[in-house]
Amino acid sequence: MAIIAKRGEISSILDSNLDQGEVMKKMKQEFIDRYKSLLGDRFNEFIKYSTAFINKAIRINPLKTSKEEFIDSLNDDWILEEIPWTSNGYWIKNIKEERFDIGNLPQHQLGWIYIQEAASMIPVEVLNPSRGSIILDACASPGSKTGQIAGMVGDEAVIIANDIDYKRMIPLASNLERLGVRNTILSISDASLIHKKISNIDFALVDAPCSGTGTIRKSLKVLDMWSPGLVKKMASIQKKILASVFQTLKPSGIMVYSTCTMEPEENEGVVSWFLDNFDARLEEIKLEIKMSEPIKSFNGIEYNKEVRKTLRIWPMDNNTEGFFVAKIRKNG
């Protein structure tokens, strides 16, 4: 049986991965200047965490197993630590093989678990969809959050898992099949036009395409791709997707917007624009997680005061990816 760790035993581990000086050389000066202005004296801490391995995490799939059954199925080479902001998530570590590929576990192949970064589990917890509802996952591939939604509602809801093209459907369909998800309709559509095809939605998740600056510790390609132009482009796409998905909601429907970027223009800026242009309001997010203050203004632009209700976490807040989440309710 796996060993259950005390809080912080795994999640506090900071295993240095890359030379910080070499990573700084890869950063464009514009990026450094921007993040120093955002973080102030936390900038060096941001670099420290962004150049460290991320602790492995899994989500137990209640469609196929229970926590108890899964924990009993592992030998005592494995240590698990509960992720406090989600009901079925654990950080996981192998004592003997530090870099063991969890994907090789038979429990993974059977669909008992899904390998998912701890912060990535936040948006569905915030959405908190109810049984008997119709749920849209607008940017669903590869299926991490669709599977998490299905685990919460069982077979007692209808999920529409949408993505933009056939190629993205392949990993989505494969993962949902492995997880034993049976209540999901697959949809191929540009999420910025989805209101033309879909309506009457109770809960919608928009885990939007973004510049990904919360994920540097997973891939330094983020630094190569980053530019102010990319940030502006992504913010424009995100606004179009939010506007379309919002139109699919019933009155009083809930929409969660999330990204894995730290860029204010893609996060608080997009939400501020949305609140200024649509009949909606933000709801408070209450999770057992360390949050940072949302960005209230950037580059001379003051954001809607309601952005204070959004969730912003930097990689160093909880030793995870950086993430941003907003919970939006349609008025009516």
Which tokens go with 41? 């004296």
Going by C-alpha positions, the residue among 330, 329, 321 that lies closest to residue 122 is: 321
Q: Where is 91: in which H helix or E strand?
A: strand 89-94
* pLDDT band, residue 162 (cuts 50/70/90): very high
pLDDT digit string (tens) for 254-295?
A: 999 999 999 999 999 999 999 999 999 999 999 999 999 999
**Residues belonging to the chain:** 332
* CATH architecture group of domain 3-13+53-115: 2-Layer Sandwich (3.30)
Going by C-alpha positions, the residue among 222, 256, 249 that lies closest to residue 325 is: 256
| Integer Cα distance of 255 and 238 in angstroms | 14
Q: What is the mean pLDDT of the chain?
A: 96
Looking at residue 302, its pLDDT comes to 98
Domain with CATH 3.30.70.1170 in the chain: 3-13+53-115
Looking at residue 100, its pLDDT comes to 78
SS3 state of residue 127: helix
* pLDDT band, residue 26 (cuts 50/70/90): confident
Looking at residue 273, its pLDDT comes to 98
The mean pLDDT value for 115-129 works out to 98
| Integer Cα distance of 196 and 111 in angstroms | 34
260 is catalytic: yes
Give the pTM.
0.97
Looking at residue 152, its pLDDT comes to 97
In percent, the amount of the chain with pLDDT more than 70 equals 99
Per annotation, catalytic residue among 260, 262, 275, 328: 260
Q: Within 13 A of 113's CA, how many CA atoms are on the CB side?
A: 27
Domain with CATH 3.40.50.150 in the chain: 119-330
| Integer Cα distance of 292 and 123 in angstroms | 16
CATH of range 119-330; options 3.30.70.890, 3.90.226.10, 3.40.50.150, 3.10.150.10? 3.40.50.150
In percent, the amount of the chain with pLDDT more than 90 equals 92
Looking at residue 190, its pLDDT comes to 98
* pLDDT band, residue 20 (cuts 50/70/90): confident
SS3 state of residue 16: strand
Which tokens go with 272? 């501020």
